[in-house]
Structure 1
Amino acid sequence: MAMWLGRVALGVLVLVLLGLQALRLADGRADRGSAAALRRTPASPPAFDPQQVADLPDPARRYFLYAIRPGAPLRQVAELEMEGELSLGSKARPDYLPMRGRQVLRLDGFVWRVRAGTPAMWFSGSDGYVNRQGWTRFWLYGLLPIVRAGGGEDFARSAAGRAVAESAFWAPAALLPSPRVRWEPVDADTARAVVTLHGHEHRVELTVGPDGRPASVMVMRWSRENPERTWRLQPFGGTIGAVREVDGYRVAAEVEGGNGFGTPDYFPFYRARVVSIRLH
């Protein structure tokens, strides 16, 4: 009897492991399919004309003239590889973990695949927002699911806010004036992009230097990263360190960001350095 029970237990364990492996492989296929959907762009995009931004608030105009070379194709998608640090801790004890990631970013979506941790303890998975669906899926050692979230309107709205804000880092052409993007003045060095995406307005404040070089980005993001765990609008953003040139653009090469940006509670849980980037 004991031997029979042992064999049953072993069989159940094997079935569970096979099921988890199938789920992990399905996550990978879903990530690749979503990234491929974001890469679909016009084969011959129009070129940037400075007259497109002549009537914008001065900080926004300076930003675009700094970020996009006249005549550069208006590329809407950024594809990048990054390295840096990620914290699962707190402002008092950040305990940063090394991370490496790849991201495909468009104004209306993103797929961020990342591995973080040490050889002794690591996890991998993805965050994303594609076709009005947001998700977070992470696995410990590539074997055990530790986070699987998403699927609701709140989660999708929050993920969309990230895509919009990060476009100011890496896909500036996506924020040019259009039926879904308008600009408002804030002060001498800050302008606000109001982006209408899937029924919600995302308000992104961009602060620039005298030459238009981007310094910081802040979005009022729909989030529950607060002590009450209540969904609400709250500041999320970060600063831009180094800048690099690529294909007629100047984009962020070093960024850090987190919740509560601009408040005493700000904690940059995410620090990234761009290893490679291409726009298409």
Structure 2
Amino acid sequence: MSEWITISGKFLFLIVAVIAGAWLWANARYRNGMADAETAWADIASRQTETADRYTPEMVRDLPEVAQRYLNHAIAPGTPLLRKAELEMAGEFLLGEPGAQKTFAMLARQVLAPPHEFVWIARMSSGPVRISGSDGLHHRHGWTRFWMLHSLPLVQLAATADLDRAAAARPAIEAIWAPATMLPANGASWVQTGPDTADVTFGTEAEAITITLRINADGALKEIWTMRWSDSNVEKTYKIQPFGATIQAEDNYNGFTIPSRVTVGNHFGTDHFLPFFIARLTHVRHF
């Protein structure tokens, strides 16, 4: 009997050791992944975009009326034309299929350098479930890495052509949080498409990304959308499909009037619109 107990004890110790080793290995991968996101953040934030230029309405007098209306609302005269932002936000993130989504409370922070780069680091919780990780696009390469309880991998995507192309839409559409990037002097091209709508294009030819804005009579942004490369569909196949947001509120930060409450989702403007991101900004720094 004593020999059996001794053997059982050794076997139990081995099991515990294997489990502990697996957890330590998984946790190390989590910490490495988060460290990579922080490194990309630091690199984006370190590159200077300082400018002595300050906004004047004369800068946009040759643009279509709707562009002037939006930019004169979004950028106060005399505002330094800073093109990067660090954001903090809170809200809800919805995971799952249509009709079966689970709501997670969300806290996130982001560095944004439109129209080409961003890092978004988030923590989400629902009951005992804790999820953390990051999305990003850095030097044209995207990633999505999230873990449960700092160890169990949920999504681990990086370095694919599809993901890079999908991620490219994020910093372009989020240029609304750093409106100076939407000036023609910074490479944005405007075309008015209706009394209250305009297309804004960043880049040229194959790499061009166009976002569409709908604004009100005062120039406040109400909706924004783009055609994004995405596999968020029934077929789980990458294709071009509408992605966009409605704006519920705006606030002034550092001379910029930007959306402060947004609802974002796939299949924007269709019967299949599925919001998955509802957020309010809690802090903004432009630099």
Could you tell me the TM-score, scaled by structure 2's length?
0.91
Q: Who is 1:18 aligned against?
A: 24
Q: Who is 2:129 aligned against?
A: 121
1:140 and 2:148 matched? yes
Offset of residue 243 of structure 1: 0.7
Identity over aligned pairs, percent: 35
Q: CA RMSD in A?
A: 1.9
**Does the aligned pair in 2 maintain the 1:157–1:200 contact within 8 Å?**
no
Q: Distance in 2 between matches of 1:209 and 1:223?
A: 29
Q: Which moved more, 1:43-52 or 1:27-36?
A: 43-52
Give the letter for the 2:28 counterpart: A
Q: Distance in 1 between matches of 2:275 and 2:282?
A: 20
1:150 and 2:164 matched? no
Offset of residue 226 of structure 1: 1.2
Q: Distance in 2 between matches of 1:149 and 1:48?
A: 40
**Does the aligned pair in 1 maintain the 2:251–2:260 contact within 8 Å?**
yes
Q: Who is 1:42 aligned against?
A: 49
> Within 5 A, what are the aligned runs for 1:33-182?
33-39=39-45, 40-107=47-114, 108-168=116-176, 170-178=177-185, 180-182=187-189
Q: Deviations over 1:201-233 (max 9, x none)?
A: 111001111111111100111111111122121
**Does the aligned pair in 2 maintain the 1:219–1:236 contact within 8 Å?**
yes
Q: Distance in 1 between matches of 2:109 and 2:51?
A: 25
Q: Distance in 2 between matches of 1:210 and 1:25?
A: 48
Name the SS of the counterpart of 1:229 in structure 2: coil
Q: Distance in 1 between matches of 2:227 and 2:214?
A: 15
**Does the aligned pair in 1 maintain the 2:50–2:82 contact within 8 Å?**
no
CA 1:10 to 1:79, structure 2 compared with 1: closer, same or farther past 3 Å?
Answer: same
Q: 1:253 aligns with which of 257, 260, 278?
A: 260
Q: Who is 2:234 aligned against?
A: 227
Offset of residue 158 of structure 1: 0.7
**Does the aligned pair in 2 maintain the 1:139–1:145 contact within 8 Å?**
yes
Q: 2:219 aligns with which of 207, 212, 224?
A: 212
Q: 1:243 aligns with which of 243, 250, 257?
A: 250
CA 1:16 to 1:228, structure 2 compared with 1: closer, same or farther past 3 Å?
Answer: same
Q: Is there any run of 5+ residues in structure 1 with no aligned partner, and where?
A: none
Give the letter for the 1:98 counterpart: A
Q: Distance in 1 between matches of 2:142 and 2:41?
A: 13
Q: Which moved more, 1:170-179 or 1:87-96?
A: 87-96
Give the letter for the 1:88 counterpart: L
Q: Distance in 2 between matches of 1:140 and 1:101?
A: 16
CA 1:162 to 1:141, structure 2 compared with 1: closer, same or farther past 3 Å?
Answer: same
Could you tell me the TM-score, scaled by structure 1's length?
0.93
Give the letter for the 1:172 counterpart: P
**Does the aligned pair in 2 maintain the 1:132–1:198 contact within 8 Å?**
no
**Does the aligned pair in 2 maintain the 1:59–1:207 contact within 8 Å?**
no
Offset of residue 46 of structure 1: 2.0
Q: Which moved more, 1:44-53 or 1:79-88?
A: 44-53
1:188 and 2:195 matched? yes
1:262 and 2:265 matched? no
Q: Who is 2:3 aligned against?
A: none
Name the SS of the counterpart of 1:19 in structure 2: helix
Q: 2:33 aligns with which of 27, 31, 52?
A: 27
**Does the aligned pair in 1 maintain the 2:201–2:210 contact within 8 Å?**
yes
Larger Rg computed on CA atoms: 2
When the two structures are aligned, how many residues end up with a matched partner? 279
